[in-house]
Every structure is written in C-alpha cells, then in structure tokens.
C-alpha cells in the first residue's frame, strides 16, 4: 500500500517545512481513506439501492420501453408528455391539494395539542393522550387505510354517527363521492400525521428555556400571548421538520390512496404516486413512469428546499 | 440479451472492492451508461418449442413441474392434486400470488432463468410479442386442440404484429367462462316479473318495475369499473360483434367510437340517473356486491359463471341466470366469454409434460367434473365430450346451458377491458364512474375510450 512505501520524512523535531512533507501527506491520505472505510457500510447500500435506481430511472425516462422488450430512445418526449398532458398534470394538482390535509391540519392542530399537553401535569392522562395520538404512526398504513374504508363505507361508522345525530341526509359513500373523496382520503392523512407532529412539537417545547415562560408571565402575558411570543418562535426548527416530512408525505403519497380509492372516483383522487405505479406496472410504460417519477422528485425538492432554508436559518 | 434491465458490470465489482467508494459511484454511472438502451431486444431466441414433432406421451420417469397460479381460485390446485393421483410420477409444485401481483410479476418471472412451466396469464399479447411464451401450435395439432370451439380458441392466438385472433396459439383455458345476468327470483316475483327478459327493452322495463316496487334494480360494483359488465352487455347487442372483437384484438383501424357505443353509454348514464345502480356503486367493491346480492339486496347482477357455484350454495333455488337478451326478439345471443388463460413460458423446462397436463384438463372426465363442480364453468375441450352432470334446476345448470347455447348459436366476444393493459384502470374505470353520476355522456365516453386506446397502441 501507499503508506508502507512512502519515503521517510524529515527528521523528527525539525521545524515543519513550508512545503508539505511527503510523510504527512501520505498519512493524511491514509486518514482520508480510512474515513471512507467507515462510511462504506452505509455508502454501498446507499449507492446500490438509492443512487443506482435513481440514475436508472433517469436513464429509463429517456426511453420508450415496456420493461422487457427493446427500448427506443425518445429524448425528452416523456418529459414533454408529463409537463403538457392534462392527464399527467391533474395528479400533481391533487398532490398539492393534499398538502392542506397532510401538512396544514396536522401541524396546526399539532401545535395547539402540543401547547395544551405541555401545560398538563405529567400523569396518566397526559401519557394516554400521547399514546392515542401517536398510535396511527405505529399501525401500518395499509391496515389503517383498510380500516378507514370501513369507516367511510355506506353503512360505516361515520354514516351511522351522522344518522344517529339526525344528519342522515348528508350520509354518502364518502370514498365514491366525486366532491368528497379527496377530502376523505386527505383526512386519513391528517389522522396519521397529527401524532407525529404533536410528538415532535412536544419534544421541542420541552427544550425551550423555562425562564422565557417565566419572563413572559411576569410581563403579564396570557396563554395565547405566551404561545405566540415564546412557544412558536422556539419551535421553528421542529415546525420545519414537521412541514418537510408531511409535505413529502403529501406529494409522494401512495399507500393510503391506492388502498382506499385507487385514484377514483373518476380521477378525483389520482396522485402522482398511484399514476406512476399504474404506468409502470399496469400499462408497462416504464419510460413515461420514470419521467413522472423524476418530475415528482424535482417537484418535492423544489418545495422542500425553501422550507429547509427558512427553518435552518440562524437568527 | 439483458432481460431485467441490468447489464454486466465488468469494472463495477472489481474496483468497488478496492476501498475507494467513489469508484462505486463511477461504476454506477458506468453501469447505466454502458448499458445503452434498457431491455434490449426480444427474448424469442430462447428456444420456443415449435412442437412440430410434439409427443403426446407422458414420460414414466419422475418429473417435477412448477406452476405459477392465482391465489383465491382453488380450481387449479384441485386439478393438480387429481393429476398427481392419476400420474404419480409427476409432482407439481404450485406457487400462488394475488391477481395484481401475478400480472405485474409475470413478464419478469417468465424472463428469468427459473421460469415456471405453467403460468396463469390474463393478457397474453405483450408477453407473446416479447417472445416470453411458447408457441403451442405443435401440441394443438398433436392433441387436436385446433378442433375446439374456434370462437374461444382464437382469443388465445397472437399474430406477429401483436393483434389477437389469428397467429400461433399461445395459451389454453382452464374453464371457459360465460357472462350474463344473475337474478333473484323472490325479488323478481315481488316486482311482478314472471320470466327473464327476451329483449333489451324488456330488461329495461323490468328495471323500472323493480324501482317502482322498491327493489334495488341492479347490484353492481364500480369501485374499479364493474359497470363495464352491463355497458359491454349493451354494446354487444347494438354493435357488430366482429367489430368489438377487432377492437379487443387491436386490429388496425378498429374503432368503438361508433353510434352503437354512444347509445350503450347513454343508456348506462340514463340507468345511473334513474337510480338503477346502487347509490354507492363508485365505492362498492366486488366482495361487498356479492355479499349484498347473496343476502337478497338487488334484483339483477351482471357477472359471470365463475360465481354460479358460490351463488348456488348461498341462494339455492332463489337465483337464476340468463344471457343478456338481444336488442330485437329472436336475435342472436352475444356475450362476453373468456377462458381463464394459462400459458407455457418459452423458458419452461418441461413444456411437453405441461402440455399433456393441459390436454388432460380438457379431456379427462374427472378433471372436467372438477372444473364444473368448482367453477361452474364449461370445461371446454372436444365438443363431442359430454358436459358433467349437475343438480337439475340449479343455477349451475343454467350457466352451463347458456355456455352451450352460445357456442351453438350465439357469438362469444372477449372483454373490452382486455384490449390493452392500461385501458381498464386508466380509462374505462374513471370514465364509467363519471358516466353513472352524470359527469360524462355516452358520446364523451366513446371518444375518451377510443383516444386512450389509440394513444396506448401508438396509432
């Protein structure tokens, strides 16, 4: 190896020469290499299972290919289709609508819940509330979605409840209703993500300096003012994390929608994830599906990067 | 050639082991770049047994066959068990997957080195075009399959240009299903309906009668587009069945943007508006539909004879079946018929033994009885063989009789949903959901269907 064969450096104790001694450079080279060695166990799977598929997707997106037979190079044709055809743009629009349910509601409600829970004395009730709120995170999404299918069905719990309070007139098959299906699947997302956001935000609140709350109270601040002046600014990073995670969940949503509506009725709940799956595995248009995936990735990055910059900004 | 989109990585492996991970990235780039086009030509070079000198003898030496089948359909497993009982030297290993998983994996499984000997394959065109399926013509001649009902067998032929209907035989059915309308006899009596309708108009009158009597006229799932059953049932009566077959088989110039298709679409929309379909049809899944119809919710259900044994068990004499009536009295019956298709991959290791099994399924009396008893479907096979006996007056008897009526004097057509791999989920399903809720018209439906069809076939 290079280390062993490196020429001896200048005598020990001699003042460091302005030029880099060969020995030092050899050692630092070795150090640099050994650094890579530590990263290797993580880097290899990352390259194999993240970078390689990513690059392959980019390559596939330039071809017209059914996954098995011969592929034809079509250049940017697939991207033109994705960015100009209405069929491909509608799902992207739905993904942005889902941000309301996957991000705005969970983060908003999460903030309120976290602030309320923070004020609670530790005890059974507080623990129970946290467990209940976090439970949706533990249940596999597919199982949760199946359960929600029952809740939303014609004779499901939701309609039974509505009928019981005299609202029988508004009952419907929620997931099959053109006007309500997106709201219905969106609320499943809110239910899943509220727990995650609340937990993250509670952790964040507990890190805020208690003296700030004391100071606010001495200044005569009420709970609302305290929340606005102390809690909210103190949680900027946590909110950033919540927003990032949930926006990705909204834009790249797949499982909830695949299990509950498969994009229907009509195309009311079709999202890019389901569209990509269908193009790739049902229609076997690997090229168009890959182009869709690349566009989706770019879109997610485009939305996420400003959020990251804002939440990581130093004051 | 490289079937799974991967390609050899001569430098990747060698250098990545030297601890310079940057090389790994470079290797990845090399892998993708050096690959050239993904896929890479047809796999038909893999010895597709033309079977010109096909043997019809089963070897006596022990042999193990691998079948890749669909979960939830016990028929194939029962046949496999019976076959092993009769031919103990043949062991058949069965691997099962859910329909969606099976159809999505099929091409890759067949292209792999350990391709199964028999695979349940709902759509054969793409795989045949990609050279993944064995040409069965040799066996067909040797066993006499070419003398089976041509209306059904032509669905299993694929030409070199990818059109179905003619060309080499690439699959065989196990059970040949027929579709029509199941009805609840008690509800029919309640609505004042004395006998099955003889024309489409009579059927429509029955729907109105049921509605007036407070009976749900039709129980039909549509969460994934089940209203295509009644839609195509109407289309079959209005349109020339040959034109529908051409469309399903992807013949050049085929179109279903026709006045007949518009008429069928408008009628479905009118049925939706009149409340003939369940209120929650667009959220109703197949299983729930079956449960509701069985419980007596719904006068009619447009479905196929794969359910007749189940319905017979659950409803006994209370359920009946009729073929979709023609538009005018005395007209020919036209119905969707499709075999449960099974193909032998080109890479199968024991094609001859598997062909023997397929022939046995069609001709062995015990096997034929299993098909009828399990599925209620016609076992197909040589027209001279008798149909196994069933309980007189049962719904199974009615569906088997319908099968015979159709093969003698009617026309069997394939499902429009099978025309291309994407047409059902991508267009038929969402557009039918719009159609029954008044968001789409018959004309709009026909136009969307045709444009999606042409786009997918790149015409």
pLDDT, tens only, B110-140: 999 999 999 999 888 888 988 999 999 999 9
φ/ψ (deg, to 5) at B168: -65, 150
Same structural domain, B224 and B322: yes
Instruction: Please give the average per-residue pLDDT across A213-235, as a whole number.
Output: 89
With tokens 């799932």, the residue in question is B221
With CB atoms and an 8 Å threshold, state whether A282 touches B32. Answer: no
Q: Which of A43, A59, A154 sits opposite B24 (nearest CB)?
A: A43
Whole-angstrom CA distances from B121 to A75, B132, B152 are 33, 12, 16
The pLDDT, as a whole number, for residue B36 is 63
For residue A297, give the CATH number of its domain: 1.10.3720.10
Query: How far is A191 from A174, CA to CA, in rounded Å?
Result: 16
Query: How far is B54 from B136, CA to CA, in rounded Å?
Result: 9
User: Does any domain span residue A153?
Assistant: yes
Mean of the per-residue pLDDT values of chain A: 87
Instruction: Please give the average per-residue pLDDT across A50-78, as a whole number.
Output: 92
For residue B4, pLDDT over 80 is answered with no
With CB atoms and an 8 Å threshold, state whether A71 touches B38. Answer: yes
A39 lies within 8 A of chain B by CB: yes
Residues of chain B above pLDDT 70, percent: 88
- As given in the structure block, the two tokens for residue A25 are 């450079």
Residue B380 banded pLDDT, cuts 50, 70, 90: confident
Between residues 233 and 252 of chain A, which touch chain B (CB distance below 8 Å)?
A: none
Instruction: Please give the average per-residue pLDDT across B419-444, as a whole number.
Output: 93
B455 touches A283 (CB < 8 A): no
- Helices (H), ranges, chain A: 2-5, 22-46, 52-60, 77-84, 86-99, 105-119, 124-138, 141-152, 157-164, 181-207, 210-218, 223-226, 232-234, 236-251, 255-260, 272-277, 286-312
| CA of B88 vs chain A CAs: smallest distance (Å) | 37
Query: How far is B396 from B182, CA to CA, in rounded Å?
Result: 11
Pairing between strand B411-413 and B334-343?
Answer: parallel
For residue A16, pLDDT over 80 is answered with no
Whole-angstrom CA distances from B78 to A27, A195, B129, B361, B368 are 71, 48, 32, 11, 11
Same structural domain, B331 and B345: no
The pLDDT, as a whole number, for residue B335 is 95
Q: Closest by alpha carbon to A293, among A268, A265, A274?
A: A274
A143 lies within 8 A of chain B by CB: no
Residue B32 banded pLDDT, cuts 50, 70, 90: very low
For residue A313, pLDDT over 80 is answered with no
Number of neighbours of residue B419 by Cβ within 10 angstroms = 26
The pLDDT, as a whole number, for residue B66 is 96
With CB atoms and an 8 Å threshold, state whether B126 touches A284. Answer: yes
For residue A276, pLDDT over 90 is answered with yes
For residue A152, pLDDT over 90 is answered with yes
- One DSSP character per residue, B392-406 reads TTSHHHHHHHHHHHH
Among B282, B347, B449, B451, pick the best mutation site for testing chain A contact (most A Cβ within 10 A): B282
Same structural domain, B243 and B351: no
Same structural domain, B203 and B135: no
User: Does any domain span residue B415?
Assistant: yes
The total domain count for chain A is 1
- As given in the structure block, the two tokens for residue B288 are 């729930």
- One DSSP character per residue, B128-195 reads HHTT-B---HHHHHHHTGGGS-HHHHGGGEE-TTS-EEEEEE--EEEEEEEEEEEEEHHHHHHTT--S
Q: How far is CA A16 from the centre of its chain?
A: 51
Instruction: Residue B223: list chain A partners with CB under 8 A.
Output: 176, 261-262, 264
User: Does any domain span residue A11?
Assistant: no
Q: Closest by alpha carbon to B410, among B334, B341, B339?
A: B334
Q: Supply angle C-alpha B372, B374, B376, rounded to 5.
A: 45
pLDDT, tens only, A93-113: 999 999 999 999 999 999 999
Residues of chain B above pLDDT 90, percent: 64
For residue B93, pLDDT over 90 is answered with yes
Residue B31 banded pLDDT, cuts 50, 70, 90: very low
Same structural domain, B278 and B418: yes
What contacts B228, CB < 8 A, 6 or more positions away?
B415, B416, B417, B424, B428, B429, B432
With CB atoms and an 8 Å threshold, state whether A68 touches B29. Answer: no
| CA of A190 vs chain B CAs: smallest distance (Å) | 21
User: Does any domain span residue A17?
Assistant: no
Task: Please say whether the dihedral angle defined by the alpha carbons of residues A58, A61, A63 and A67, taken in this order, is positive or negative.
Answer: positive
With CB atoms and an 8 Å threshold, state whether A68 touches B280. Answer: no
With CB atoms and an 8 Å threshold, state whether B107 touches A175. Answer: no
Q: Which of B21, B126, B433 sits opposite A39 (nearest CB)?
A: B21
Instruction: Count Cβ atoms within 10 A of the Cβ of residue A309 and give its class: 0-12 exposed, 13-18 middle, 19 or more buried.
Output: exposed
**DSSP β-bridge partners for residue B172:** B342
User: Does any domain span residue B51?
Assistant: no
pTM: 0.83
With CB atoms and an 8 Å threshold, state whether B430 touches A264. Answer: yes
A277 lies within 8 A of chain B by CB: no
Same structural domain, B249 and B321: yes
The pLDDT, as a whole number, for residue B154 is 83
Length in residues, chain A: 315
* Lowest mean pLDDT segment, chosen from A114-123, B132-141, B324-333: A114-123
The pLDDT, as a whole number, for residue A22 is 60
Instruction: Please give the average per-residue pLDDT across B393-406, as a whole number.
Output: 91
Same structural domain, B315 and B369: no
User: Does any domain span residue A172?
Assistant: yes
Strands (E), chain A: 63-64, 72-73
Instruction: Please give the average per-residue pLDDT across B38-53, as a whole number.
Output: 48
For residue B109, give the CATH number of its domain: 3.40.190.10
For residue B19, pLDDT over 70 is answered with no
Q: Which of A60, A177, A262 sits opposite B38 (nearest CB)?
A: A60
For residue B427, pLDDT over 70 is answered with yes
For residue B72, pLDDT over 90 is answered with no
Number of neighbours of residue B399 by Cβ within 10 angstroms = 31
User: Does any domain span residue B446?
Assistant: yes
Instruction: Please give the average per-residue pLDDT across A277-298, as a whole number.
Output: 92
User: Does any domain span residue B22?
Assistant: no
Between residues 67 and 86 of chain A, which touch chain B (CB distance below 8 Å)?
A: 67-73
| CA of B171 vs chain A CAs: smallest distance (Å) | 19
pLDDT, tens only, A227-246: 888 989 999 999 999 999 99
For residue A2, pLDDT over 70 is answered with no
The total domain count for chain B is 2
B187 touches B207 (CB < 8 A): no
Same structural domain, B253 and B307: yes
With tokens 């797949």, the residue in question is A254
For residue B261, pLDDT over 80 is answered with yes
Same structural domain, B306 and B435: yes
What contacts B440, CB < 8 A, 6 or more positions away?
B265, B269, B431, B434, B448
Whole-angstrom CA distances from A55 to A42, A51, B20, B391 are 18, 6, 20, 61
Query: How far is B453 from B418, CA to CA, in rounded Å?
Result: 11
Q: Among all residues of chain B, which has the CA nearest to that of A63?
A: B37
Query: How far is B92 from B102, CA to CA, in rounded Å?
Result: 18
What contacts B448, CB < 8 A, 6 or more positions away?
B427, B431, B440
The answer, yes or no, to whether the previous bond of A215 is cis (omega within 30 of 0) is no
Whole-angstrom CA distances from A298 to A294, A303, B223, B407 are 6, 9, 32, 56
Same structural domain, B139 and B205: no
Same structural domain, B95 and B212: no
Instruction: Please give the average per-residue pLDDT across B284-288, as a whole number.
Output: 92
More confidently predicted of A86 and B302: B302
Instruction: Please give the average per-residue pLDDT across B90-107, as a whole number.
Output: 88
User: Does any domain span residue B319?
Assistant: yes
Instruction: Please give the average per-residue pLDDT across A191-205, as a whole number.
Output: 92
- Helices (H), ranges, B191-253: 200-212, 228-238, 241-248
Q: Closest by alpha carbon to A181, among A241, A271, A117, A82?
A: A271
The pLDDT, as a whole number, for residue A23 is 63
> Residue A215's domain spans which residues?
86-312
The pLDDT, as a whole number, for residue A117 is 86
User: Does any domain span residue B120?
Assistant: yes
Q: Among all residues of chain A, which has the CA nearest to that of B12?
A: A48
Residues of chain A above pLDDT 90, percent: 57
* Lowest mean pLDDT segment, chosen from A53-62, A256-265, B192-201, B378-387: B378-387
User: Does any domain span residue A100?
Assistant: yes
With CB atoms and an 8 Å threshold, state whether B281 touches A176. Answer: yes
Number of neighbours of residue B101 by Cβ within 10 angstroms = 13
The pLDDT, as a whole number, for residue B48 is 42
Q: Which of B42, B224, B425 sits opposite A69 (nearest CB)?
A: B42
Residue B39 banded pLDDT, cuts 50, 70, 90: low
User: Does any domain span residue A260?
Assistant: yes
The pLDDT, as a whole number, for residue A165 is 93
Length in residues, chain B: 459
Mean of the per-residue pLDDT values of chain B: 86
| CA of B137 vs chain A CAs: smallest distance (Å) | 23
Same structural domain, B90 and B189: no
* Lowest mean pLDDT segment, chosen from A11-15, A214-218, B50-54, B215-219: A11-15
φ/ψ (deg, to 5) at B107: -60, -45
For residue B103, pLDDT over 90 is answered with no
Q: How far is CA A156 from the centre of its chain?
A: 30
The pLDDT, as a whole number, for residue A6 is 41
> Which of helix, strand or coil describes residue A165?
coil
For residue A158, pLDDT over 80 is answered with yes
With CB atoms and an 8 Å threshold, state whether A266 touches B5. Answer: no
User: Does any domain span residue B11?
Assistant: no
Whole-angstrom CA distances from A290 to A63, A179, A197, B242, B418 are 9, 30, 31, 37, 25
Whole-angstrom CA distances from B185 to B67, B143, B193, B201, B299 are 41, 43, 9, 20, 8
Residue B97, H or E segment: strand B90-97
> Residue B261's domain spans which residues?
177-337+411-456
What contacts B114, CB < 8 A, 6 or more positions away?
B66
């Amino acid at each position: 190896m290079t280390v062993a064969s490196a020429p001896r450096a200048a005598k020990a104790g001699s003042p460091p020469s302005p030029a880099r001694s060969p020995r030092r450079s050899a050692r630092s080279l070795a150090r640099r290499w050994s650094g890579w060695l530590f990263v290797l166990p993580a880097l290899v799977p990352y390259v194999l299972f993240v970078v390689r598929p990513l690059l392959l997707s980019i390559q596939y997106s330039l071809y017209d290919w059914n996954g098995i037979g011969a592929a034809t190079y079509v250049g940017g044709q697939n991207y033109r289709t994705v960015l100009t055809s209405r069929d491909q743009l509608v799902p992207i629009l739905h993904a942005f609508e889902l941000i309301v349910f996957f991000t705005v509601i969970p983060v908003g409600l999460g903030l309120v819940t976290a602030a309320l829970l923070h004020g609670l004395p530790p005890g059974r009730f507080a623990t129970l509330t946290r467990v209940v709120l976090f439970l949706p995170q533990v249940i596999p999404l597919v199982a949760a979605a199946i359960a929600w299918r029952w809740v939303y069905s014609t004779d499901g719990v939701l309609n039974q409840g509505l009928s019981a309070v005299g609202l029988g007139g508004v009952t419907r098959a929620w997931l099959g209703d053109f006007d309500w299906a997106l709201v219905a699947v969106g609320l499943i997302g809110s239910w899943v993500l509220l727990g995650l956001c609340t937990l993250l935000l509670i952790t964040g609140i507990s890190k805020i300096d208690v003296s700030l709350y004391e100071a606010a109270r001495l200044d005569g601040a009420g709970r609302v003012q305290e929340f606005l002046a102390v809690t909210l600014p103190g949680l900027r990073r946590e909110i950033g994390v919540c927003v990032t995670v949930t926006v990705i969940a909204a834009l790249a949503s797949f499982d909830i929608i695949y299990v509950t509506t498969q994009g229907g009725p009509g195309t009311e709940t079709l999202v890019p994830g389901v569209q990509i799956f269908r193009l790739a595995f049902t229609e076997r248009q690997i090229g168009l599906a890959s182009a869709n995936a690349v566009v989706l990735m770019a879109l997610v990055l485009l939305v996420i990067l400003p959020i990251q910059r804002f939440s990581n900004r130093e004051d | 050639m490289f079937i799974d989109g991967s390609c050899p990585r001569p430098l990747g492996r060698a250098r990545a082991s030297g601890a310079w991970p940057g090389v790994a990235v470079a290797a990845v780039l090399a892998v993708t770049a050096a690959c050239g086009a993904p896929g890479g030509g047809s796999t038909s070079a893999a010895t597709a047994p033309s079977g010109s000198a096909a043997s019809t003898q089963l070897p006596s030496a022990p042999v193990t066959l691998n079948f890749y089948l669909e979960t939830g359909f016990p028929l194939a497993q029962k046949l496999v068990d019976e076959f092993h009982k009769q031919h103990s030297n043949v062991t058949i290993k069965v691997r099962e997957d859910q329909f969606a998983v099976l159809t999505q994996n099929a091409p890759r499984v067949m292209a792999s080195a350990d391709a199964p000997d028999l695979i349940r394959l709902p759509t054969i065109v793409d795989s045949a075009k990609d050279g993944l399926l064995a040409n069965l013509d040799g066996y067909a001649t040797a066993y006499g399959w070419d003398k089976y009902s041509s209306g059904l067998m032509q669905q299993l032929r694929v030409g070199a240009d990818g059109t179905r209907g003619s060309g080499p035989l690439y699959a065989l059915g196990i059970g040949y299903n027929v579709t029509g309308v199941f009805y609840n006899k008690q509800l029919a009596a309640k609505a004042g309906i004395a006998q099955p309708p003889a024309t489409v108009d009579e059927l429509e009158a029955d729907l109105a009668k049921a509605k007036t009597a407070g009976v749900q006229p039709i129980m039909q799932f549509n969460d994934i587009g089940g209203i295509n059953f009644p839609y195509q049932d109407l289309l079959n009566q209005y349109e020339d069945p040959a034109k529908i077959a051409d469309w399903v088989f992807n013949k050049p110039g085929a179109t279903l943007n026709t006045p007949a298709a518009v008429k069928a679409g408008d009628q479905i929309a009118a049925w939706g508006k009149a409340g003939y379909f369940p209120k929650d049809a667009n959220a109703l899944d197949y299983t729930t539909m079956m449960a509701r119809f069985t419980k007596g919710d719904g006068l009619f259900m447009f479905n196929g004879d794969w359910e007749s044994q189940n319905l017979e068990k659950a409803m006994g004499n209370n359920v009946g079946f009729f073929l979709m009536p023609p538009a005018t009295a005395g007209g020919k019956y036209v119905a969707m018929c499709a075999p449960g298709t099974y193909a032998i991959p080109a890479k199968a290791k024991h094609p001859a033994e598997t062909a023997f099994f397929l022939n046995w399924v069609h001709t062995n009396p015990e096997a034929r009885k299993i098909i009828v008893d399990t599925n209620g479907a016609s076992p197909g096979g040589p027209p001279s063989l008798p149909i196994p006996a069933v309980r007189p007056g049962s719904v199974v008897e009615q569906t088997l009789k319908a099968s015979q009526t159709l093969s003698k004097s009617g026309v069997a057509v394939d499902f429009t949903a099978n025309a291309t791999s994407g047409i059902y989920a991508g267009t038929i399903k969402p557009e039918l959901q719009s159609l029954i809720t008044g968001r789409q018209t018959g004309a709009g439906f026909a136009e969307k269907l045709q444009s999606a069809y042409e786009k997918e076939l790149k015409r």
